[in-house]
A and B are shown apart, each in its own frame.
Chain A
Amino acid sequence: MSAVIEVDRVSKRFGALSVIDELSFSLEQGEALGVVGPNGAGKTTTLNMIAGDFRPTTGRVRFDGRDVTGLPAHRRCRIGIGRTSQVPRPFDGLTVFENVLVGASFGGAHRGHRARDVAVDALRRTGMLAKANVRAGELTLLERKRLELSRALSTEPKVLLLDEIAGGLTEGEVLELIDTIKSIHAAGVSIIWIEHIVHALLKVVDRMLAMDYGRKLIEGDPHEVMASDEVKNVYLGTEA
């Protein structure tokens, strides 16, 4: 097995505030890794550093063995790191189809009919095809979350980073989403999935990472991690 993502002693400070502190973990090729932790633990910040939204203060990020710490987000997307955003970032003035076409054309580097087909495929796999010609600005929050996933898929990622993609969904919608993510995983895409809805994670991920205060609490078998004292202590008083 070889690591497709390596986070190597990464720290992030915003001014005086230390958000991530010497965090190291890796994602194996073809693996699905779940990430849990209380609000403000630094999960999104970690994801942003893998996706290239900003650089770590210290430490390295590697993709496929290659140091990508200095690469901007659009370059990381093109080499195969796709991501969804916790707060959706739709292009409101464009249609749903045009939104995913951006990913297929730039992240996926396709042109013409090929770009169109990749975009259509991404829409179909995420159940968004029926909304293809609706302007993204007119979508409901749930549809916008789903569009995040369609857009990430349209870049044909090797690694997919998901940030609270199931938050706010009904039970039925969560089950649908689980099926979608499972099929993406089955197609060979490695996944890091940040989620507060633990039962959804447990149905998909091979391994679990729990963090708090920018540090790794515990990492390992998903059920064992969730049953561990470390995680129980952190979630004491909050709902797990």
Chain B
Amino acid sequence: MSDVPAPAHVVRATTTSRVLGLLGVLLVAWLAFLAASDNPATQTKIVELCVFVVVASMWNLLAGYTGLVSIGQQAFIGLGAYGLIVFGNGYGQDVYFSIVPAALIVLIASVPIALLAFRLRGGYFAIGMWVIAEVVRLLVKQYKDDPIKGGSGTSLDVPTDLYPKAERFQTTAFIALGLAVLAVTVIALLLRSRIGLSLQAVRDNEHGAGGLGVNVYRERFIVFMIAALFTGAAGAVWYLLKIRIQPDTAFGVADWTAPIVVMVVIGGIGTIEGPIIGAALWYLVRDYVTSTDSAIQLSDEWYLIVTGLLAMVVALFFQRGLWGSLQRHFPSLQVFPIQRRLVVDDEVGDHRDRKRST
């Protein structure tokens, strides 16, 4: 174009994001400190929380940013978990290392699953993903030989001379924490990038994004594969701790996707922070209501029912959950500097900023 645009630059980080980011780093350091302690109960909680932070964040990346609402993410959990069994028990690989090939297998499996499921739209996609997860579960149950052992399930081989229990709990807690940090970092970097801009566009208006040149199918495919990779790894990490595995729980929708949806909806769908907050709250409150000395006593089933109802209320009245509602009142609130603020050097791009800076 002939007219030269005035010098302008784009600002990403804000004071709030710097402060909150620092708090986030301190939080991770504190969790690492707890993981290093010799308390198996604490280490178990860290693993559970981190695994759910990973899978909830990934489900949110799919549902909250690309509009792919899947109720079949347990397919990837189960595949990752059984990948761990195959490489650990079957091929006798180091169990920690086995997470890597297990996750890669899930990544590969996600391609045909996407090709199939992407033929469906909206609610049909959601149901289709659930059907796919059920089919995979039934197939695994049919495989009665070693190392899968069909529907009755099996246990990960962790002989105590090779993997002392205390050491395994500690290592697993560190791996889980590392995976959670990696997953959230990948999501934040992805959303900060050019692709992330288009994902947010797809989130807000799919047809509008297509009309501005965004290849919605391709972006969705990429995100679907990333989500599968991390969800599979998270499934493997979970069973590194739990040892005992059965197809009905590893591929169980009530074990995985149901609590994930609750966490994301309450925490704030379509935000990076929401799933993390949702998962943390879910575990904090659950710990309280299942401990013997609390006033309210809820079984795991009732806990899911109650939190599920709560999630429906949140979805109806606070569309973007806790974090989204906070952001509505404090627009500059963000932990991860995703937003782009334009500063035009000779004109004023935002009157609110002018007030603040004078």
* A interface with B by C-beta (< 8 Å): 51, 53, 72-75, 77-78, 83, 85, 89-95, 97-99, 101-103, 105-109, 111, 116-118, 120-121, 124, 129-130, 132-136, 151, 154-155, 187
Which one of A53, A106, A129 contacts B344 once the chains associate, using CB atoms below 8 Å? A129
A-chain residues with CB within 8 Å of residue B215 when the two chains form the complex:
72, 74-75, 106
B-chain residues with CB within 8 Å of residue A132 when the two chains form the complex:
342, 344, 349-350
A-chain residues with CB within 8 Å of residue B135 when the two chains form the complex:
none
Decide if A77 touches B270 in the complex (CB within 8 Å): no
Instruction: Scan residues 170-219 of chain B and give those whose CB is less than 8 A from a CB of chain A.
Output: 194, 197-198, 200-201, 203-205, 207-216
A-chain residues with CB within 8 Å of residue B203 when the two chains form the complex:
91, 93
Cα distance, A73 to B216, chains bound together (Å): 10
Q: Who on chain B is nearest to A119 by CB?
A: B342
Decide if A89 touches B349 in the complex (CB within 8 Å): no
Cα distance, A198 to B312, chains bound together (Å): 49
Q: How far is the CB of B34 from chain A (nearest CB, A)?
A: 35
Q: How far is the CB of B201 from chain A (nearest CB, A)?
A: 5
Q: Who on chain A is nearest to B210 by CB?
A: A73
Which one of A78, A97, A124, A133 contacts B213 once the chains associate, using CB atoms below 8 Å? A78
A111-B204 contact in complex given A73-B210, A120-B8, A129-B344, C-beta closer than 8 Å: no
Decide if A102 touches B341 in the complex (CB within 8 Å): no
Cα distance, A98 to B191, chains bound together (Å): 13
Decide if B200 touches A94 in the complex (CB within 8 Å): yes
Q: How far is the CB of B91 from chain A (nearest CB, A)?
A: 44
Q: Who on chain B is nearest to A161 by CB?
A: B211
Q: Who on chain A is nearest to B320 by CB?
A: A93
Q: How far is the CB of B180 from chain A (nearest CB, A)?
A: 25
Q: How far is the CB of B3 from chain A (nearest CB, A)?
A: 7
B-chain residues with CB within 8 Å of residue A120 when the two chains form the complex:
5-6, 8, 342, 344
Instruction: Scan residues 305-357 of chain B and give those whose CB is less than 8 A from a CB of chain A.
Output: 331, 339-342, 344, 347-353
Decide if B205 touches A103 in the complex (CB within 8 Å): no
A-chain residues with CB within 8 Å of residue B210 when the two chains form the complex:
53, 72-74, 77
Cα distance, A69 to B81, chains bound together (Å): 46
* Per-residue interface assignment for chain B, residues 141 to 158, with 1 indicating a CB less than 8 Å from any chain A CB and 0 otherwise: 000000000000000000
Decide if B212 touches A103 in the complex (CB within 8 Å): yes
A-chain residues with CB within 8 Å of residue B342 when the two chains form the complex:
95, 97, 116, 120, 132-133
Decide if B211 touches A85 in the complex (CB within 8 Å): yes
Q: Who on chain A is nearest to B348 by CB?
A: A130
Q: How far is the CB of B55 from chain A (nearest CB, A)?
A: 23
Decide if B212 touches A133 in the complex (CB within 8 Å): no
Please report the total number of B residues contacting A with Cβ < 8 Å: 40
Cα distance, A129 to B209, chains bound together (Å): 21
Decide if B1 touches A121 in the complex (CB within 8 Å): yes
A-chain residues with CB within 8 Å of residue B339 when the two chains form the complex:
95, 98
8 additional contacts (CB under 8 A) given A89-B208, A94-B200, A116-B9: A72-B210, A93-B270, A95-B342, A98-B200, A102-B212, A130-B347, A133-B349, A155-B213
Decide if A121 touches B5 in the complex (CB within 8 Å): yes
Q: Who on chain A is nearest to B1 by CB?
A: A121
Cα distance, A92 to B200, chains bound together (Å): 9
The winner among B200, B214, B342 for most chain A CB atoms within 10 A is B342
Q: Who on chain B is nearest to A73 by CB?
A: B210
B10 CB within 8 Å of chain A: yes
Decide if B209 touches A91 in the complex (CB within 8 Å): yes
State the 3 A-B residue pairs at the shortest beta-carbon distance, nearest first.
A89-B208, A107-B213, A106-B213
Cα distance, A91 to B213, chains bound together (Å): 14
Cα distance, A72 to B2, chains bound together (Å): 31
Q: How far is the CB of B14 from chain A (nearest CB, A)?
A: 12
Decide if B349 touches A129 in the complex (CB within 8 Å): yes
Decide if B200 touches A89 in the complex (CB within 8 Å): no
Q: How far is the CB of A145 from chain B (nearest CB, A)?
A: 13
Decide if A101 touches B211 in the complex (CB within 8 Å): no
Decide if B3 touches A121 in the complex (CB within 8 Å): yes
B-chain residues with CB within 8 Å of residue A51 when the two chains form the complex:
211
Would you list 26 pairs from A and B whose C-beta atoms are within 8 A, ordered by A residue?
A: A53-B210, A53-B211, A74-B212, A78-B213, A89-B211, A91-B204, A91-B205, A93-B270, A94-B204, A95-B341, A97-B340, A101-B197, A101-B340, A102-B198, A103-B212, A105-B197, A107-B213, A117-B5, A124-B3, A129-B349, A130-B349, A130-B351, A133-B341, A136-B204, A155-B213, A187-B2
Decide if A135 touches B347 in the complex (CB within 8 Å): no
A90-B207 contact in complex given A77-B213, A107-B213, A129-B347, C-beta closer than 8 Å: no
Q: How far is the CB of B187 from chain A (nearest CB, A)?
A: 16
Q: Who on chain B is nearest to A53 by CB?
A: B207
Q: How far is the CB of A137 from chain B (nearest CB, A)?
A: 8
Cα distance, A181 to B6, chains bound together (Å): 22
A-chain residues with CB within 8 Å of residue B1 when the two chains form the complex:
118, 121, 187
B-chain residues with CB within 8 Å of residue A83 when the two chains form the complex:
211
Q: How far is the CB of B216 from chain A (nearest CB, A)?
A: 7
Instruction: Scan residues 1-28 of chain B and give those whose CB is less than 8 A from a CB of chain A.
Output: 1-3, 5-6, 8-10
Cα distance, A64 to B208, chains bound together (Å): 24
A-chain residues with CB within 8 Å of residue B270 when the two chains form the complex:
93
Cα distance, A202 to B105, chains bound together (Å): 63
B-chain residues with CB within 8 Å of residue A154 when the two chains form the complex:
212
